[in-house]
Amino acid sequence: MPEPHRFGVIALSGPPNAGKSTLLNRIIGEKISIMSRRAQTTRHRILGIKTLAAAQLVFVDTPGLQRRPPKGLNRVINRTALNSLADVDLILFMIDGRGWTPELEQLFAQVARAGRAAGAGAAGGANANGDGGANVNADSNSAPVILLINKIDRLKDRARLLPIIKHSAELHPFKQIIPISARKFSDVDNFLNLIAAELPEGGPGFPADQFTDRSQRFLAAELVREQTLNLLGHELPYASAVEVTRFEYRGDNLLHVAVIVWVEKTSQKSIVIGRGGRQLKAIGQAARKQMEKAFGVQVYLEPWVKVQSGWAGNAAMLRTLGYLEEERA
């Protein structure tokens, strides 16, 4: 008897900067979600679809969760992350090799409460805003959770994992606890088989050649944002966003992209542009190379910087930039 085909949705959840997007890109084998040293790199829910011979795995990359999200953009982003946990078949909760902190345990408690297994319905009191204690009693509606302890390449002594694993097991009945290095991940096939085994039987939900739900246009904006994070680091104000204003193929081999980097203050505009335009040029060049790699065509990229004060608290602007779309879904 052949194995039944399996299909399921798997949320990647955890604190900011744990390495969720790095793992997703590794699994999919394409860069679909941007990565950076900065916390809160991912701002949207992004699907990565992996089709195997006998299973289709739909991974949902989510923004890193904040314990006490402030207003505006951060709040919207946190809600996106928690909403993504409803109706999933499995949650991969990722921490890093430094282990648990009280704050992390509280974040996890939120995740476990928000994570409702597909088909479990709204009953059972999912509470995305609750702030209960660290001990989570999984009920029958909860989605199962696999704990990933990431960045073990950074650990000098692997024995340090043992107390973390022990404490994790006391915290929650995790399906599995797996130490990994998303950056140096070579065992992808085994990992995928292990995850597929946790999913329900069902036919594929997406065409076999589709690997994300996001458009090239979306990725173009994200790749520019990634370069602003990489090149400006902590100089960059958190409240910056990228809007694509032009995305046009010219013939088969040239793509014309124009983007606006939105900031909140004139002083921030100067930082993004840099002396003599140096920073913006570097951001544009690096983002263009990334786009050429991702899309397989030559790209002509025009980057602009504009100021709109208070955009991060402005619903119309948040909608234009795509931050409220998940809310309507």
Residues 6+ apart with CB under 8 A from 219: 32, 291, 294
Question: Measured between alpha carbons, how far is 225 from 64 in angstroms, rounded to an integer?
Answer: 17
Q: Which is nearer to ligand GTP, 55 or 61 (CB)?
A: 61
Q: How many Cβ atoms from other residues are within 10 Å of residue 219's Cβ?
A: 23
Determine the residue type at 123: A
Q: Cβ 321 to ligand GTP, closest distance in Å?
A: 17
Binders of Mg ion in range 184-243 (CB under 5 A): none
Q: How many Cβ atoms from other residues are within 10 Å of residue 40's Cβ?
A: 19
Q: Which is nearer to ligand GTP, 7 or 226 (CB)?
A: 226
Site string for ligand GTP, 178-207 (x = CB under 6 A): ---xxx------------------------
Residue 277 main-chain phi, psi, to 5 deg: 80, 10
Q: Which is nearer to ligand GTP, 65 or 117 (CB)?
A: 65
User: Can residue 18 be called a binding residue for ligand GTP (CB under 6 A)?
Assistant: yes
Each residue of 179-202: b (16+ CB within 10 Å) or e? bbbbeebeeeeebeeebbebbeee
Q: Which stretch binds ligand GTP (CB under 6 A): 20-28, 201-209, 236-244, 277-285?
A: 20-28
Site string for Mg ion, 28-57 (x = CB under 5 A): -------------xx---------------
Question: Measured between alpha carbons, how far is 220 from 273 in angstroms, rounded to an integer?
Answer: 19
User: Can residue 21 be called a binding residue for Mg ion (CB under 5 A)?
Assistant: yes
Q: Quick one: which of 17, 56, 106, 168 contacts ligand GTP (CB under 6 A)?
A: 17
| Radius of gyration in angstroms for the set of CA atoms belonging to the chain, rounded to a whole number | 20
Q: Which is nearer to ligand GTP, 61 or 105 (CB)?
A: 61
Positions touching ligand GTP (CB under 6 A) are 16-22, 35-37, 39-42, 63-64, 150-151, 153-154, 181-183
Residues that bind Mg ion (CB under 5 A): 20-21, 41-42
